[in-house]
Structure 1
Amino acid sequence: MSIHYPARERLANLPTPLQPLHKITERFSRPYGGPNIWVKRDDLTESAMSGNKLRKLEFIIAEAKAQGCNTLITCGGEQSNHCRATALAAARTGLKSHLILRQNAGGATSDTPDGNLLVDYLAGAKVSLYPLKEYVNQLPQLFGEWASYYLKRGDRALCIPTGGSDGLGIWGYILGAEELLADCRDNGFEPDRLICASGSGGTQAGLTLGCQMLGAQTRVTGYAVCDSEDYFVSKIRDDIRLWAEAYSQVFPFDAEQIHVSDKYIGPGYGVAGEEIFQTISLVAQLEGILLDPVYTGKAFYGLLKDIEQGLYADCRHVVFVHTGGHFGVFPQRTGFSAAWGQQ
């Protein structure tokens, strides 16, 4: 079917490359009769704004401008990739940004910001850090208070949910699915599976909906990095319902095709075990690709373990969507101390 997209602010360098992972396939998939592994390099959407969030922000910023907004307010963890991308995208398009951030579980923030948080400040974002309990219990009120604050000063703010994951942001990965499927056709195959990390659900929602709208038989699987399988199934279903209502879409989405694995979250969101750091190191050494310990490292580790257990034995081609996050490596640098030289 022909898809009619809403207005877009062009920010990302598209299309991103689709690359085969020959060494990873030979070492971690072929011995188990598994598929060829490819990676869609959405970590290359842009240099500093890199990652999956930029695809969503193209539609979000266009909507902000259409509504006459000059400020973007959004939220996330202290090392949020989405908030970093929002701050930089706002700076590039002449908008202000305000980030409502959740402090790390311990509640302490270093006097010297690192990783994504450092980039937030460099981009000129206003940053408001809140303790975990206050953030979780009062997030809607915090959005309301800051939107009112700007309105009183003659500004108008667009409030963007966690990860830009809602009925608007979903367009980014409907378009992403269309691009990815075209890449695969150009390489002579239709993917059996698309794999991504799921942290707010928006990328998986867009990929799943996009594949259905385009008539692909490809199954999308999200590896959860927080929350349960049931949570993500419900969240993705709700995002797609909001998309359909907001844009008067009558596409008959099949919610039975929402597939989530919550087996590899580990100790919790943003907390990685030794196996994740070793996986990141191995992928860097074998393929020259940098994953991160919050999202892509966990999802890629889960993919390799599930291939080892035979869960992808019926697949010929699997595409891993690299959603970015490389700035998240640096605040967790000590986790890699045992990974040096691992081959």
Structure 2
Amino acid sequence: MSDLPIPLLRAYPALIPHVPLANLPGHQCPTPVTVSLDHAQLWLKHDDLTNRHYGGNKSRKLAFILGRLQAQGQTQLVTFGGTGTNHGLACAVHCQALGIGCEVLLFDQPPSASVTANFRAMQQAGARLTPCGSLLRTVLTYYGRALLSRLQPASRTAYLFAGGSSVEGVLAFIDAAFELREQVAAGLCPEPECIVCPVGSGATLAGLTLGVALAGLRSRVIGVRVAPSHLGPFAACTTGTVAALMSATVKRLRAYGVTSPVLQNLPAPVLLDHYYGEGYGVASAAGQDAASWFLQQRWADERFVTVEGTYTAKALAALRDQLAQTSGPVLYWHTLNSSAEAFA
């Protein structure tokens, strides 16, 4: 089974006919792990490097999401996010590479250099950008159009929730946890005492929480909320939404023939709220200070690492606190794209 393409399929061959993967140009998993030369207990998982054209956790998910879309014969993707959405940019870049149409419904968010760069890059990648104004109006537009699409049996348009939160997105990060297990087994890094990751729409946290348990790792997975808990009246980033994603994925795994005691007694997701600050895309003083600290770290592999001040930085504030409170290895799962190619 060593020649199977991803760790998840090596662990559960029964999934092979049920988990189609898109052949994303530039895909480069497994992503490296490295240690800080300034703090021997601080480790970094380079998911900023999942794809050389546009990396980050969204690109890891899209290999699964777009694979299923292609298998179902769908040719258009509609999703939504803020004006400078990383998720929307990842969709635009990878849909363009696969010849899939992409539309991103946009809600207003505070301006910043990264927001402007992402917006322009989505335009350059050929995505149709539809400004909808407020967050609530954007969500209602998304759900309204998705409902109308379901009433049209011949529709070849797929609707993807913000951030790529879907069963496929969760499966991608269950696979990522098995990828980490293989790296631990190979001696590339120690088994982390805890894993810290930023959380927007929840699939990354859901997948890592479920995946770590299925892989038999003892690590605690700690999510840090960096997005609104609700989109208008809809819950979007809460322990409840993460648990619901886990439950939906478990249902799918069981239907595909996967058995494990973990699926009978799901671990509870851990989501820290108090680093969120004043709002979506609004920088916090703690985050800015933690970002400066993080950028001063020297890493054993000397790879370039990107940080931005409104999402990543809040997770880094939690990372620094966990490092101070934890005696064992702490792994930061870095989810922000580090490839500059999309902005060229």
Q: TM-score range by the shorter chain?
A: 0.7 to 0.9
Looking at structure 2, the residues matched to 22 and 94 of structure 1 have their Cα atoms a distance apart, in angstroms, of 43
CA shift digits 1:186-228 (9 cap, x unpaired)? 2352111111001111001111111111121111110111345
How far apart in 2 are the matches of 1:143 and 1:127? 17
Amino acid of the structure 1 residue aligned with 2:285: E
Shift of 1:250: 5.3
Matched, 1:8 2:17: no
* Residue 87 (1) aligns with residue 92 (2): yes
Structure 1 residue 276 corresponds to structure 2 residue 287: yes
Map 1:129-168 onto structure 2 (within 5 A): 129-132=131-134, 133-144=136-147, 147=149, 156-168=156-168
Question: What is the CA deviation profile of residues 13-62 of structure 1, one whole-angstrom value per residue up to 9, with x for unaligned ones?
Answer: 11111010122x27xxxxxxxxx010000001123421001111111111
Of 241-250 and 9-18, the range deviating more from structure 2: 241-250
* SS of aligned partner of 1:170: helix
Please give the TM-score of this superposition, normalised by the length of structure 1: 0.81
Q: Is the contact made by 1:184 and 1:190 (CA closer than 8 Å) also made in structure 2?
A: yes
> What SS does the corresponding residue of 2:207 show, helix, strand or coil?
helix
Q: How much has 1:109 moved relative to structure 2?
A: 11
When residues 148 and 212 of structure 1 are mapped into structure 2, their CA distance, relative to the original with a 3 A threshold, is closer
Unaligned runs of 5+ in 2: 1-9, 299-303
Tell me what 2:329 maps to.
317
1:139-192: per-residue Cα shift (whole Å, max 9, x none)? 3014345x489x79x861111111111212111101111111222232352111
More deviation, 293-302/118-127: 293-302
1:218-263 residue CA offsets vs partner (Å, 9 max, x unmatched): 1111011134599521111111121223341554444443111111
1:205–1:104 CA distance, 2 compared to 1 (3 A):
same
Superimposed CA distance per residue, residues 246-283 of structure 1 (whole angstroms, 9 cap, x where no aligned partner): 34155444444311111111111111123323432342
Q: Unaligned 5+ residue runs, structure 1?
A: 27-35, 329-343
**1:121 aligned partner:** 123
Alignment partners' CA distance in 2, 1:319 and 1:9: 28
| Residue of structure 2 equivalent to 1:172 | 172
Amino acid at match of 2:218: Q
Contact 2:62/2:164 (8 A) holds in 1:
yes
Aligned ranges 1:1-343 → 2 under 5 Å = 2-4=11-13, 5=15, 6-11=19-24, 12-23=27-38, 25=39, 36-104=41-109, 114-132=116-134, 133-144=136-147, 147=149, 156-185=156-185, 186-187=187-188, 189-227=190-228, 232-247=238-253, 248=255, 251=260, 252-253=262-263, 254-287=265-298, 288-308=304-324, 310=325, 312-313=326-327, 316-325=328-337
**Counterpart residue type for residue 83 of structure 1:** G
Deviation at 1:296, TM superposition (A): 2.0
Paired residue total: 308
Q: Calculate the aligned-residue CA RMSD, in Å.
A: 3.0
In structure 2, distance between residues paired with 1:100 and 1:128 = 5
Q: Is the 8 A contact 2:284 2:310 kept in 1?
A: no
Letter in 2 for 1:89: H
SS state at 1:268 partner: coil
Q: Is the 8 A contact 2:174 2:210 kept in 1?
A: yes
1:62-117 deviation line (CA, Å, top 9, x unaligned): 11111111111111111111110001110111111111111226xx899xx82211
Find the aligned partners of 1:142 and 1:115 in 2 and give their Cα distance. Answer: 28
2:79–2:162 CA contact under 8 A, matched in 1: yes
| C-alpha distance in 2 between matches for 1:241 and 1:20 | 34
Q: Given residue 134 of structure 1, which amino acid in structure 2 is its aligned partner?
A: R
- Distance in 1, Cα, partners of 2:270 & 2:202: 11
What's the CA shift for 1:131?
A: 1.1
Which whole-Å CA distance do the structure 2 matches of 1:218 and 1:88 have between them?
33
Contact 1:291 1:325 in 2 (8 A): no
**In structure 2, how many angstroms separate the alpha carbons of the residues matched to 1:212 and 1:306?**
20
- Describe the shift of the 1:237–1:327 C-alpha distance in structure 2 as closer, same or farther (beyond 3 A): same
Distance change in 2, residues 1:214/1:268 (3 Å): same
In 1, are the aligned partners of 2:287 and 2:310 still within 8 Å (CA)? no
Whole-angstrom distance in 1 between the partners of 2:80 and 2:46: 25
Percent same amino acid among aligned pairs? 27
Taking the aligned partners of 1:307 and 1:19, their CA distance within structure 2 comes to 16
Query: C-alpha offsets along residues 287-320 of structure 1, whole Å, 9 cap, x if unaligned?
Result: 3522222332111111213434x3x24xx11110
